Structure 1
Amino acid sequence: MRFLRLAAVAALAIGIGAAAQAAPVDLSPEQPGRPHTGPNRQAIALLPKNFSFATPGALTIATAPSSPPLSTYSTDTRTVVGSEPDFASLLAEALGLKLVLLPVSWAEWPLGLQSGKFDAVISNITVTEERKLKFDFSTYRKDDLGFHVATSSKITSIREPKDVAGLRIIVSSGTNQEKILLEWDRQNVAKGLKPVEIQYYNDQALRDLALQSGRADALLGPNAHGAYRAALDGRIRPVGIVNGGWPLTAEIAVATRKDSGLADAFTAAINGLIADGSYAKVLQRWNLEAEGVERSRTNPPGLPRS
């Protein structure tokens, strides 16, 4: 947990330095601009009777603070802010409950959710068939990956495999985006196109330097992070989006315990947030409009088991 917090604070420090120039988002602990909503009677009626909440009279939601815009520590280095905490706040309000937001490590959430340490998790979790064996899901965002380039780059669009042929692309090792990029490269080489030069960096500063110096042509990573950074300092810009489940479609969802009965209530609450406009306000606030969904679904088809 200490490592997680230090990493998040380090990421926050980078963000604050850039924000001093552009200041497009609020990372204060007070969050005066956070959207709010009222109780959703239909969703509340779907809550299971006599459900044993982790915190009596409250909704305890876990999130893994990593980096903005999804979830990070605020300027006081203690309060968790971002789009995920905003969604958690709206869900609690819609369900007529007080929110208890619990920061956890990514590795901690599955066991913590199963054991009842918290009632739900909102932490950029992709719906997969493997996870559906143990958890229920209520979708609230597209699982999008984004191609970003230096603002000065001549590249205008990366939409399909042929667009990456011959390019030098930064990607994180062992990620879903690396898997997609490798498959695109395999298809291109099979068609006689130039191979991709894949570059790996463990440090964000080195990634930025490679992109800005021209040693790399593009970066492929979670669209939420790239969109945030593009809005923050203007040094990079988006040139394409690919779904994280390519060639299938993947979605991000709130996770609850399997058969706990919470999923339908959460799905109804999210659809209420979409209808009253508060959902859109969260997306706009964190520059995530491209990842919005038209409706929430309970346990939709997930990425297949490998």
Structure 2
Amino acid sequence: MIQRRTILSLSLGALAAASLAISFAKAQAPFDLGPEQPGRIRAEKDLAAIAALPQGFKFVEPGVLTVAISPGGPPLGTYATDAKTVVGADPDFAQLIADSLGLRLNLVPIAWADWPLGLVSGKYDAVISNVGVTEQRKEKFDFSTYRQGLHGFFVKADSKVTQIREPKDAAGLSFSVGGGTNQERILVEWSKQNVAAGLKPLELQLYDDEAGRLVALRSGRVDVIVQPHAQLVFISARDKDIKRIGTLSAGWPLKSDVAVTTRKGSGLVDALTVATNDLIRNGKYLQALARWGLEEEALERSETNPPGLPKY
């Protein structure tokens, strides 16, 4: 049987305060969060991608690629130090796509829950905001993949745990994880597989927020923290007291890729896939990911409407 302990949110005030104190005590963020973004990677016009646009295709605003993004946090997308400009890996990729199509970029910050209706109603040309491909979403939207969807396994910098690649590597270890998340679902299944193989189960400590999960790791109450990979990359680079020991597909045991999302049948998807594959070939794509420490999430090639996660 899996060992599970749920930590109530009422106890997290002190934990959050402790985590913030650690953060402020560290050096400044390792990534450029200023609004000017002088290091942003730019691309030339991609004639093949432009040719892949349907004849007479109409953008929301002529000459502009209007992209919706939810600034959920660094390094994928967050507000810059001016509290209004959105910066991060997803805005950088949006800029590359706009450049490739010979368009100016207009980023529209939105709440995550608003993107489906806004896209269907024609408020934006595309959504570039860590949207995963699912079979259910494919019924209403088209997808051009541009990044792997990964969870990360991270430990304290001085931990003796060096690698987690498969269930047996996790046997007997304790994990801080968000309750009700996809990560919890996967680790529960891993624990069942280990027990069936005669190995030790996993111990899961469930927390309502990231602050609690990090304090559990830093205080030694758990061996490993598990949550979306990009978030932990940023924390690791900023605080320098945790390190990555493995990654996990967000759709385990299936692949789960992140994609530029467009209206079903709008005609934009093929041009986006061509542009992305050309950016992969010319190296601009990897340069943009490396700027935010996300090389691990790079795709070898972009696909149009690949198999998505099934309906559960």
Relative to the length of structure 2, the TM-score reads 0.90
Aligned to 2:301: 295
Displacement, 1:19? 9.5
Aligned to 1:63: 69
Aligned to 1:249: 255
Displacement, 1:23? 4.1
Aligned to 2:229: 223
Residue type of the alignment partner of 1:194: K
Aligned to 1:50: 56
Answer whether contact 1:18 1:233 (CA < 8 A) is retained.
no
Answer whether contact 1:92 1:99 (CA < 8 A) is retained.
yes
Displacement, 1:17? 5.3
SS at 2:27's partner residue?
Answer: helix
SS at 1:125's partner residue?
Answer: coil
Aligned to 1:6: none
* Alignment coverage as a number of residue pairs: 295
Residue type of the alignment partner of 2:67: I
Displacement, 1:296? 0.8
Task: Work out the percentage of aligned pairs sharing the same amino acid.
Answer: 56
Answer whether contact 1:19 1:232 (CA < 8 A) is retained.
no
Aligned to 1:78: 84
**Structure 2: gaps (5+ residues):** 1-15
Alignment of 1:130-149 (within 5 A): 130-149=136-155
SS at 2:160's partner residue?
Answer: coil
SS at 2:286's partner residue?
Answer: helix
Aligned to 1:278: 284
- Measured in 2, the distance between the counterparts of 1:19 and 1:257 equals 45
Deviations 1:193-228 (A, max 9, x none): 322221122233222211111011101111111122
SS at 1:124's partner residue?
Answer: coil
SS at 1:252's partner residue?
Answer: strand
- Measured in 2, the distance between the counterparts of 1:158 and 1:179 equals 17
SS at 1:147's partner residue?
Answer: strand
- Measured in 1, the distance between the counterparts of 2:129 and 2:180 equals 19
Range with greater deviation from structure 2 (25-34 or 176-185): 176-185
Aligned to 2:45: 39
Q: Match for 2:265 among 251, 259, 262?
A: 259
Aligned to 2:10: none
Displacement, 1:287? 0.3
Range with greater deviation from structure 2 (23-32 or 192-201): 192-201
Aligned to 1:3: none
Residue type of the alignment partner of 1:89: Q
SS at 1:221's partner residue?
Answer: strand
- Measured in 1, the distance between the counterparts of 2:217 and 2:140 equals 40
Displacement, 1:16? 12
Displacement, 1:158? 1.1
Q: Match for 1:197 among 193, 203, 208?
A: 203
SS at 2:207's partner residue?
Answer: coil
Answer whether contact 2:98 2:104 (CA < 8 A) is retained.
yes
Segments of 4+ in structure 1 off by > 4 A?
14-20
SS at 1:126's partner residue?
Answer: coil
Residue type of the alignment partner of 2:294: L
Q: Match for 1:112 among 118, 121, 126?
A: 118
Aligned to 1:88: 94
Aligned to 1:186: 192
**Structure 1: gaps (5+ residues):** 1-9
Answer whether contact 1:38 1:93 (CA < 8 A) is retained.
yes
Give the RMSD, CA atoms, in angstroms. 2.0
Residue type of the alignment partner of 2:239: D
- Measured in 1, the distance between the counterparts of 2:122 and 2:142 equals 14
Displacement, 1:151? 0.8
Aligned to 1:4: none
Answer whether contact 2:174 2:222 (CA < 8 A) is retained.
yes
